[in-house]
Every structure is written in structure tokens, then in C-alpha cells.
A and B are shown apart, each in its own frame.
Chain A
Amino acid sequence: MRIEWLLALRFLKEGRAQTFFMLGGVTMGVGVIVFLTALITGLQRSIIDKTLGTQAHVVMRMPDDEARRIIKPDSVRTVSANIERRAQRLSSILQWQQVMRELEKRTEVTAVSPLVAGPSFAIRGNATKSVALMGIDQEKYTRIVPMASFMKEGEFRISANDAAVGTDLARELGVTLGDKIRLQTADGRSETITVAGIFDVGIRDLNRRWVFITLRSAQNLLDLVGGVSSIDVTVRELFKAEVIGQQLARQTGLTAESWMKTNAQLMVGLKSQSASSYMIQFFVIISVAFGITSVLVVSVIQKSREVGILRAMGCSRRRIRNIFLLQGGLVGLVGSLLGSGLGTLLVTFFASTAKNPDGTPIFPVVLEPGMFLIAAGVATVTGILAAAAPAVRAAKLDPVVAIRNV
């Protein structure tokens, strides 16, 4: 063991009460940071999971139809025109299969799924309900939205006859598994499907409106033969969805709408929550640093005689400085380990006491190894920085004065 380490450890061991208070401060501080981070990460992730459980990260669509000018203004002619907006008909993405292949090639994209979505009526007996047809490729779509996990009855099996509806629609139409529903669109096309599965995605509106059928059935019903209305995309990094979406839009000439834009309010909420959490963490770190500094300043004064003796025996100023920096760093590191343990205990206890009626925790907590590493790193660096002023002071001690002050 190097002599600096030996001296730093021994000084810490000797100044038991001081070391205890410094360690206590760091432990509390890191504990609070771990607790807060785990809780806020958990909460945010659960909110995002709930929001994105039924959404693609990016949805690619054809740009809106726009009215084209026939007479254009030029230098000799002024055109006064009232341009009416065009009604947006359901249009297919051009060469969507090729677009899909291009999207699938990108490394940041994890899943791509075609969708034919449009309005229809679901009719059974006297009941008619307005629904949203969701024509999908089952295998591809379930990679975007894990429908199998939402099933209440039956299974998510979409084929020529089999379809899936939400719990609310099933209740309103009075259907159960195996019952038939007629789907009819505004222009009179219709098809009959059999209910093979009933799902609950946790959002009543969707449970009431979504009807999953095959891509081909939806294409027939919505008069979009061979086409798709949108392409759903999931990306590897959730929070890069907007940036990647814009890149995809430029690449394909389609419009891209990311979940971040669709849920702009949520994003603002998440960001301000993170900001306030960072703020608290920052002030916790500052107060821990002040704690370490003030204890070490006292320790330097108490140890000035030892410092003087060491200097007389040939210990360089740099070495004296390092001894005190090491003490700060060691307190930071050990305190962060204890604090990580404390934070984990607290957050686990908190999560285990606050539970929903179904036994799931109200506050889902996320403890990631990365967070502990960052906490350890930040605490160690904080410890060293906090020790800087006392360490420099110790290094500057005049050995003659230090030795004389018995």
C-alpha cells in the first residue's frame, strides 16, 4: 500500500467521530439521490410504458394533399384567390413495401409494421357502433404493440375470419368469443368477422373503438387495395424518436410523427420532473461537499502537528496534499456505497408498502447498476473536490509553526 493511502486510512480511522459524521453525510446524501432517482426513473418509465404500450414510437404517413395552384402569380399578373383546403382522403403510402425495407435496414429502428386504419361501423343485431378498423400484419404489429399481453379473453389471432375487439366494444355489442360482427364502411362495403379475442389496453376509448382485422380485409373495406395508410416504427432509443423520425421523413419523403410530439404535454411534464429532481440532487451534493470540507478543515487543524512532523521527516507538500485529497475521496466512495445500500433499502421498503389493490406497486422503482456507478463516481469526485481546500491548506502548513504548536 502506498504511504499516502496508509496515512489517509489511518487518519480516517483515528478521527473516528469526524469520519463517522462525514460518512454519515455522504451516506444520507447518496441515499436521497438513489431514492429519488429510482423513484422518478420508475415513475417516468411506468408513465412512458403506459403511454407507449399502445403506440408506435414513430408513425410514417403520406403528406397531406394540398390544393395546387393552376394560375401562378408572376411579375405582370397578380392573382387573387381563395384557396380552399382539400378534404383529406385516405391515401396509400407509395411503394410502401420498399419504404418498409428501407426502414428495416436502419440500425436505430427495431420494428416496422404496416397499418391500414380507417373508420367503419360495427353492427350486431340492432346495435351499431362507430369503430376504427386496424388492418395489420399480426406478426409485425405485435412487435410494436404487445397485444398478446392485453388479452382478456381468447387470443390475439388475426386471420381472414378472426378478429380482435376491445372489452368495451364487446360489452356494447353484447359479443363474446366466437360471435360474429358485421363491419360496414360509409360507402357500403362490408365484411363479417368472428371475435377470436377480446383485449383491454387500459384506455377505454381504444377498447371501444379498435377492431383488429387483417391487412387485406382492411384494404378491401377501406378501398385501399394493395396499399397501407401508415407505417408504425419503433426505435432503439426512445428519446431519440423525434430526431430519428425527422431523418426517416427526409429519407422517405413521408411525414413522421413521433410519440414525443403526439404526447407533447407528457414530455413537458417529464422534463420538468427530471429538472426538479436534478435540482434537488445538485443541492444535496453541494451540502454534502460543504459537510466534508468543514470536517476536513477541522481535521487539518487538529493534524497540523502530525503534518509538521511528516514534513520534517521528508514528506513533500504534494504528498501531504494527496493524503487529505485521498481522505475526501475515500469518504466519498465508501459513503456512496453505504448510501447506495441505504437508498435501495428505502426505495424497496417504500415500494413494498405502497401498493395498488391488485398487489402491484403504486410507485414502480427502477434500480439500475449505471445509477450506482454514477452515484459512486459523483460522490468520490465530490469528496476529492471538497477536500481540495483543506488539502491545500495542509500542504501549505509551515512545519516549524506546526511542530511548535503542541
Chain B
Amino acid sequence: MSDMNNILQLSDVRKVYGNDGITTEVLHGIDLTLQRGEFTALIGPSGSGKSTLLNIIGLLEQPTSGVIRVQGQETGTLADEELTRLRGRSIGFVFQFHHLIPAFTALENVMMPLMLEAGRPTPQQRERATALLTRVGLADRLDFKPAKLSGGQQQRVAIARALAADPPLILADEPTGNLDTAAADEIFKLLYEVNQESGTTFLIITHDPRLAHRCRRVVELVDGRIVG
């Protein structure tokens, strides 16, 4: 089952919300495999279960049933601490609202996943973060706090941060959702380039059909089922 090229493998993943007899099944048996280096768009109307699926893939939420394997590792049996560690090491997140930590500079934000892994900041982390920020075109903004950066710049920092721990999989939830078209294009281009350069697998939720069609693979979710 666990082909080494399979970064992510979902088998019959279901998610049911609610209790007291009133339940809503949001995901109906999802089967999905992402291979190393894939650049995939996840599309679907609002309420189709995209965010829930992304949270489950990101190990932020547990499925009601089904099996999730991240790099061959089955996650259902892991305790909270182990899940947290696996998440830190294997998955990078890019959120719609970039979600940088305002108290830290761009450089420190990018260093954060590395600091959390190592327990403390090191000069090597600083070097790597500087290189990543340079890569996303923010070499002159290293010591800026997020509030001093534009939306596009903040999203670039978030991308650099997602790349920091060199995770095999990056999940992006509407990464261009609140950017203007030009900035959105640039961000999308950046993601694509990173994918080409590093072979990192990307799963990108987007509403924008224009962007989705630029992805090599498109997964469409409707009413909690993959339809295409």
C-alpha cells in the first residue's frame, strides 16, 4: 500500500459532525492519493467539505472513520503529541489570511517551524529563513513585522514559512483568496516555481477556476464526494 512515492493516501475517509441524534455527514468516504511532486488543486462550491478535508489531511482534525497515511505512516493510532510532531515535520500550511504571528518579524516567522522543532533558535535556522525569504523576493524585508508588509508580501512570508521545515507536503487554503489579481497571479506563480524547484507536493484549495486550471491535477469535491 505504502508506495514511497505516495506522500498522502486517504482511504474511505468519512467525517460526521454533530451529536444528540442530529448528525451531518460532511465527507462521504474520500479516497485520495497525492504523489511526490504533484501540484493539485482542490475545488468545490462552498460547503462542499473542502476545508474539513484540508484540516483532516493537515492532521488538525480527526476523521470519523477511514485511514490516512502521511508518507506511509498511518496516523489513526498516533497520540496527540506524535501527531503534532508529524504535522510539524511533514506538512506546511499556507492559510488564506496568511496567519503570521504579529509579534515576530518576517524572518522569525519563517524560522518558527524550525525553532519549534529544535526547541530554540540557531544561526542555521536564520540562514535558511534568510535564503527562503530571499527566494520569495523579500530579502529587504527580513526584519519587518507583518503589520508593515502588504497582503502579497505577508503571503510570501507565509509561503517561506511553510517551506522552512522542508516538508514533503504543503497545504494551501485559498492562498490567493484575499489578494488582488496581480498579487494572486504572482503568489500562484511562486507556488508553482517552488513545486518545480523542490519537488514539494502541493494541495491548493481555491475558488478561482482560472488558477485551478493552471494546476496539473484538479480534484473536485461536491457534497463531500470527489467527483473529478
Name A residues whose Cβ lies closer than 8 Å to a Cβ of B.
1-3, 6, 10-11, 13-14, 305-306, 308-319, 399-400, 403, 406
Contact = CB atoms under 8 A, between A and B. Distances in A.
Contacts of A400: 55, 60-61
Contacts of B118: 3
B202 interface: no
A119 B61 CA distance: 93
A314 B97 contact: no
Given A314-B87, A399-B60, A400-B61, A3 B116 contact: yes
B117 A309 contact: no
Interface of B: 55, 58, 60-61, 80-81, 84-85, 87-89, 93, 95, 97, 99-104, 112-113, 115-121, 161, 165
Contacts of B81: 316-318
23 contacts: A3-B115, A3-B116, A3-B118, A3-B119, A3-B121, A6-B115, A6-B121, A11-B103, A305-B99, A308-B99, A310-B112, A312-B93, A313-B87, A313-B113, A313-B116, A315-B88, A315-B116, A316-B80, A316-B81, A317-B80, A317-B84, A400-B55, A403-B95
A284 to B, nearest CB: 31
Contacts of B119: 2-3
A11 B108 CA distance: 14
A13 B84 contact: no
A14 B103 CA distance: 6
A100 to B, nearest CB: 65
Contacts of A309: 95, 99-101
A313 B103 contact: no
Contacts of B101: 306, 309-310
Nearest to B90: A314
Nearest to A311: B84
User: What's the dominant secondary structure at chain A's contact region?
Assistant: helix
B116 A310 contact: yes
| Most B Cβ at <10 Å: residue of A11, A13, A311, A313 | A313
Contacts of A399: 60
Contacts of A310: 101, 112, 116
Given A13-B103, A14-B103, A309-B101, A314 B116 contact: yes
A112 B147 CA distance: 75
Nearest to B87: A314
A122 B104 CA distance: 87
Given A10-B103, A10-B104, A305-B99, A314 B85 contact: yes
A312 B60 contact: yes
Nearest to B173: A403
A333 B85 CA distance: 32
A2 B87 CA distance: 21
A313 B60 contact: no
A312 B116 CA distance: 11
Nearest to A3: B115
A313 B120 contact: no
Contacts of B88: 313-315
Given A3-B120, A309-B101, A313-B113, 11 more contacts: A2-B119, A3-B116, A10-B103, A308-B99, A310-B116, A313-B88, A314-B87, A315-B84, A316-B80, A399-B60, A400-B60
Contacts of A312: 58, 60, 87, 93
Contacts of A315: 84, 88, 116
Nearest to B102: A14
A305 B101 CA distance: 9
A2 B104 contact: no
| Most A Cβ at <10 Å: residue of B60, B100, B102 | B60
Contacts of A406: 97
A311 B83 CA distance: 11
